[in-house]
Structure 1
Amino acid sequence: MTTGPGGGNGGEHEEPILITPEMLAPRRRVPPPISDGRVDFERGMRRLPPLIIALILANVAVFVWEVSAGAFAPILGSTGADHTSPIMAGALIRERVLAGEWWRMITATFLHGSPDHLIGNMIALFIVGMACEHAFGVTRTAAIYVGSGLAGTAFSLATGPGPSVGASGAIFGVLMAVVVMLYRNQQYFFVRDKRIGFVLAAWAAWQLFVGFMNPFIDNFAHLGGMTGGALAALLLTPTLTAEAMVGGGRGR
């Protein structure tokens, strides 16, 4: 306990102050409160995104079909699908697309060449899709995903004969849409943890690097998806931005 000065002021003294353990503990750094009406973007990311979950389940279901149809023989130890695989029925193959099978530009984005290919893409889709769906809403996120996937397959068609499969073009587009949206709307969004942008950028850079080092990775689909996602973010107004403009920020 401590006491204030006494004696010198006619015997007056202050009440004793109790020192508690909490007062002696080191102070933790508390994030500053949101006081300018911006949207707390990170707290919203904790919600489960229904559209992204549905897309993940769809990709998994298609992969289960691939396995049941004998796409991998044998599945254990397989390095991927060969050219006689049922996967080729929906893969992106330039000559088949130019012959009129345009639906391959969509089906190819739901096919995967190996279990690790699927798992890696679905983890990335959940992480970046959660942010995108929170910012743009279900309908616009669906448009971003499909548009980015089509842009990725278009780039792939223009640069190689194929075959090519995978959702990574669409996922890169979703990632780029989030990056562009955050950059363009800083006045509406409050991002507590600056590491989010670093993690997203680092993941994209690493994937592009690996793609250029591995001839079996369709990096042009990645670049096409990123282009499509960036354009979509420029054209579509995030639902969170609209809410911030008319009603101020929110925390969830």
Structure 2
Amino acid sequence: MPPAPPPAGPSLLERARRFPATFALIGATVLVFAGQWLGQTLTGADVVLYYGAKINEALAAGEAWRLVTPVFLHAGLLHIGVNMYSLYALGPAVERFFGHRRFLAVYLLAGVSGVLLSLVMSPSPSVGASGAIFGLLGSLAAFLYLHRATFGQFGAVQLRQLVFVALINLGMGLSPGIDNWGHVGGLAAGVALAWFVGPRFSTQVLPDGRALLLDQRPGRQIAIRLALAAAAVLILSIVAMVNVRRG
């Protein structure tokens, strides 16, 4: 008798139900890219990209929405394909541990932080979700480091893999045409956010021997810290835009 096939993994629909924030971000980004394609088809120019990309001169002129919109814009099919696959692969792990709200906060705040560092350090226009995805990578790595006693050898292996992936991608980011400052800004923000608003688990052993992870951060504390993190990013945004305007 042939061996039984291995059990099938969760379907795409099941993953979407378990990790709605990840799939909502993927869906929103794909819809924006469809809008880019439609605009280019109808007008001959990517008007969405033109009005949403990180362009230093436009930000200096007060177009503050460009701190957020570049996170949802992409320069081509390969660009969005690589970033959305990375989000699909990495997002569920972060969403599982951080929860839906904190996952979304890390993604957006890290994405904006990447745009901010790029604004300060690079004169070139840029778009892409990679800064936000680097933020997820940094937050997961920091989370595993902070919980290294909880996850033991498994966590150590995962942490080493994440560090390796980050170093490889930062090295690739040194190639021309890649906004590596956006990557660095997102990565640093992700690490900081994991420390400041991320979960702090303790282990409770159930009577049947199973281990249960309990987040020791109260919900009110999480909300306050998220508000403080958002306020810090807002203040840094104002300072960066004023400095760019002054030249």
Q: TM-score, normalised by structure 2?
A: 0.71
Q: Structure 2 matches for 1:35-50, cutoff 5 A?
A: 48-50=18-20
After superposition, the Cα gap between the structure-2 partners of 1:154 and 1:131, relative to the gap in structure 1 and judged at 3 Å, is same
- Tell me the SS of whatever aligns to 2:123: coil
- Classify 1:109/1:235 alpha carbon distance in 2 versus 1 (closer, same or farther; 3 Å): same
Match of 1:215 in 2: 176
Q: Contact conserved, 2:37 with 2:46, CA < 8 A, in 1?
A: no
1:188 aligns with 2:150: yes
Q: Indicate the percent of aligned positions where both proteins have the same amino acid.
A: 35
Measure how far apart 1:70 and its partner are: 0.7
Measured in 2, the distance between the counterparts of 1:90 and 1:236 equals 29
Taking the aligned partners of 2:42 and 2:142, their CA distance within structure 1 comes to 38
- Aligned mates of 1:126, 1:249 — CA distance in 2: 27
Deviation at 1:163, TM superposition (A): 1.1
1:72, 1:85 within 8 Å by CA — same for their partners in 2?
no
Residues 100/140 of structure 1: CA separation in 2 closer, same or farther (3 Å cut): same
Deviation per CA, 1:186-240, whole angstroms, max 9, x where unpaired?
233356475433432232222111110x2110000000001110110110131xx
Residues in 2 aligned to 1:245 and 1:71: alpha-carbon distance in whole angstroms: 57
Higher-Rg member (1/2): 1
1:60 aligns with 2:12: no
* Secondary structure in structure 2 of the residue aligned to 1:103: helix
Asked if 1 retains the 8 angstrom alpha-carbon contact of 2:114 and 2:132, the reply is: yes
Using the TM superposition, give the Cα deviation of residue 147 of structure 1 relative to its aligned residue in structure 2, in angstroms: 1.0
> Retained in 2: the 8 A contact 1:151–1:224?
yes
Q: TM-score, normalised by structure 1?
A: 0.70
Bigger helix fraction: 2
- Separation of aligned partners in 1, 2:71 and 2:32: 10
- RCO greater where, 1 or 2, for CA within 8 Å and sep 6 or more? 1
Structure 2 counterpart of 1:106, one-letter code: V
Contact 2:107–2:136 under 8 Å retained in 1:
yes
CA distance in 2 between partners of 1:95 and 1:180 (Å): 35
Aligned to 2:162: 200
The total of aligned residue pairs comes to 195
The answer to whether 1:228 aligns with 2:192 is: no
Aligned equivalents of 1:231, 1:57: Cα separation in 2: 27
Q: Indicate the residue corresponding to 2:239 in structure 1.
A: none
